[in-house]
Amino acid sequence: MQTDYTNYKDIDFLDDDFFIESMIFPTRESELFWSELIDRKKIDINEFISANMLLDTIRKNRHEVSQSRKDRLWKRIETTRKSLNNRHKGVRLYRYLAIAACSVIIIGLTFTFLFEKKDAPDRPDTDIDYAQFQSLHQQQTHREIRIVTEDRQVEIDGKDAEIKYDSTGSFTVNNETAEPKRAATAATARPPSAKLSYNQLSVPYGKRASLTLADGTLLWVNAGTTVIYPVVFPDHKREIYVEGEIYAEVQRDENRPFLVKTDKLEICVLGTSFNVSAYKEDALKKVVLVNGSVDIRLNGLNTRLSPNQLYTYTGQGSSVETVDAEMYTSWRDGIYIFKDEPIENILLQLARYYNVTMIFPPQPSGILCSGKLELKEDLSHLLNNLSQIASFNFGVKDNEYRIQFNQ
């Protein structure tokens, strides 16, 4: 029976023999198998990449971790490696190849960096604190804005961060160099067969960031958002992965379309400004177009938006309506605009923005609100003003706000 990877987290991949085998000893068939799952959205790409980055981190940094604790993952890797060296791999892969061989789908993005053969470490065996590595890659367990590269992590203090990549793939944080400058020819003259190098930006709740990509595209990254992107884009297309919310001003390039992928949607543009909200925990996924045009792909169907149109996907279906785009993009300026919005939704947005917990009765209050909030103000001050309009009381303890509606 074929394994269902749909709901796998990074820890689940790292506990899967076939995943470890195909990352250590990749074949054309195993690359096709994983690429097909990614293209058909039968796999969470963020968790898949996180698992691969974890695997790389463990393999590269085994000598840096305490020897006092056992690491079951490394034993599993070593067991898999030894078994592969003692038998024919084709037998092991047979049931997977039967599925992969039937595929005639053209894969949108080849993850060569994921499937590149990894040489065995030449260091002696040491114990690894796997729990430490696992915690480093859980998006909401860290409090700082974080950039994860292939060989290190950069943590950024403060509530906001400005991250800029240049055309060579080097980047600065708040106008300070975050890594050694690379030779321009190393990035700009990258041969077609060279692997893509990916970075991951994670912005926890309560914080925000701006991200300028190597092609000049500018992203505003909202609280609770993860973006995975190539350090330098290849010659034929530009693709990034988003979980959460971004506002994008895409640098126009007629020869390289810009594709934003989420767990459900694909948004394709050449050069335009738009907002994507695709938090995993939200039932509604939204795309709002400010200017230009975008094509939204869902289950083989394309929907083209015009400026000031909102695309909404609920899981049961999608819809398009004309809206005031500013209502959906003002967050990047620290302003929250809402119109006829249930008070519960407003409170949840504030909880995300300020990184607090909101607790209110499970029954819908039926209260709808319209207005504008300055998100730079103190949260208790905002709630005091909002409570006068929406008629509720609140108390706070240990970063937890309890709401009681007045009926």
Per residue in 125-139, pLDDT (tens digit) is 333 232 332 333 333
Query: What average pLDDT does the segment 36-50 reach?
Result: 77
| pLDDT computed for residue 278 by the predictor | 92
| pLDDT computed for residue 141 by the predictor | 53
Q: Looking at per-residue confidence, does 84 or 319 come out higher?
A: 319
From 48, 69, 35, select the one nearest 6 (Cα to Cα). 48
From 263, 277, 299, 296, select the one nearest 45 (Cα to Cα). 263
Q: What is the DSSP letter of 205?
A: T
For tokens 């094509």, what's the residue?
Answer: 295
| CB-based contact 298:317 (threshold 8 Å) | no
Strands in 128-234 per DSSP E: 145-148, 153-156, 160-165, 171-173, 176-177, 198-203, 208-212, 218-221, 225-230
For tokens 């991250």, what's the residue?
Answer: 163
Q: Return the domain boundaries, the chain.
A: 10-135, 149-328, 334-405
In this predicted structure, the answer to whether residue 298 has a pLDDT above a threshold of 70 is yes
Strand partners, 396: 401
Of 31-35, 201-205, 328-332, 366-370, the poorest mean pLDDT is in 31-35
From 97, 78, 102, select the one nearest 17 (Cα to Cα). 78
Q: Which CATH number fits domain 334-405: 3.55.50.30, 3.40.50.1820, 3.30.465.10, 3.30.565.10?
A: 3.55.50.30
Rounded to an integer, what distance in angstroms lies between the CA atom of residue 118 and that of residue 137?
A: 21
Strands in 283-388 per DSSP E: 285-291, 294-298, 301-305, 309-313, 318-322, 335-342, 357-359, 368-374
| pLDDT computed for residue 67 by the predictor | 42
> Which one of 115-119, 137-141, 213-217 scores highest in mean pLDDT?
213-217
**Cβ neighbours of residue 207 under 8 Å, at least 6 residues apart?**
144, 145, 158, 159, 160, 161, 223, 355
Query: Tell me, what amino acid is at 11?
Result: I
Strand partners, 401: 358, 396
pTM of this prediction? Answer: 0.65
In this predicted structure, the answer to whether residue 275 has a pLDDT above a threshold of 90 is yes
Of 185-189, 330-334, 341-345, 349-353, the poorest mean pLDDT is in 185-189
CATH of domain 149-328: 2.60.120.1440
Phi first, then psi: what are they for 359, rounded to 5°?
A: -120, 125
| pLDDT computed for residue 87 by the predictor | 43
Phi first, then psi: what are they for 368, rounded to 5°?
A: -110, 140
